[in-house]
Chains A and B, each alone.
Chain A
Amino acid sequence: KAGVTQTPRYLIKTRGQQVTLSCSPISGHRSVSWYQQTPGQGLQFLFEYFSETQRNKGNFPGRFSGRQFSNSRSEMNVSTLELGDSALYLCASSFGTGVYEQYFGPGTRLTVT
């Protein structure tokens, strides 16, 4: 099976812009989770989608949003980018929610200048 793919792999944006990141899960997986990884805060949970519904949300401002399509592909959007949004954004897919192991994509490295 093909692994989790994320596009783009690298992105440079300026403050105030918005960005959309994409994630294609492993075939058959219906749960997609998003994480932000920074050197200071580590891996932080953003949100999880299962069958097109947001099932869980981390402690992030409303500028961070996401959605999931009927084919389980997911996108996350960050509006009004801030310097502190520079991070590695990781997407993970799993068969179900939480109680299953997650399979991670390679991540999107976002740099905000």
Chain B
Amino acid sequence: SQQGEEDPQALSIQEGENATMNCSYKTSINNLQWYRQNSGRGLVHLILIRSNEREKHSGRLRVTLDTSKKSSSLLITASRAADTASYFCATASGPPGGAGSYQLTFGKGTKLSVIP
């Protein structure tokens, strides 16, 4: 079952504009991660934000996490045509009792198109 839900499902912007994608989830998490997938290929890890962090930056990427609202956002600034891809949020939740491994659960993704 999907834990994270991205919004919007699809986004089309002009090169140079900023792109914002949102992710909502339902249960408590250890961390939230964002991944990018180019058409039909493997996923590339972008950024990991822990549950006790509120904001994280990596190059042109900015991720925020609001655990009270169970939501996260990914901002890509000054977008480029090469940013065209699907973006997924994934939540890492531990098993009941806190011991053992964590499962990474992915949302259905936001399809971003950056028009040159």
Interface positions of A (Cβ within 8 A of B): 4, 31, 33, 35, 42-45, 48, 50, 55-56, 58-59, 88, 90, 92, 97-107, 109
Contacts and interface: CB of A to CB of B under 8 A. Distances in A.
13 contacts: A42-B106, A56-B101, A56-B103, A90-B43, A92-B43, A98-B30, A98-B93, A98-B101, A98-B102, A99-B102, A101-B45, A104-B44, A107-B41
Interface residues of B, number: 28
Given A45-B105, A107-B41, A99 B92 contact: yes
Contacts of B95: 56
A72 B100 CA distance: 19
A56 B106 CA distance: 15
Contacts, number: 68
Nearest to B43: A104
Contacts of A98: 30, 92-94, 101-104
Interface in B26-73: 30-31, 33, 35, 40-45, 48
Chain A contact residues, majority secondary structure: strand
Interface string B80-111: 00000000100011110000111111111100
B2 interface: yes
Contacts of B2: 42
A102 B104 contact: yes
A101 B40 contact: no
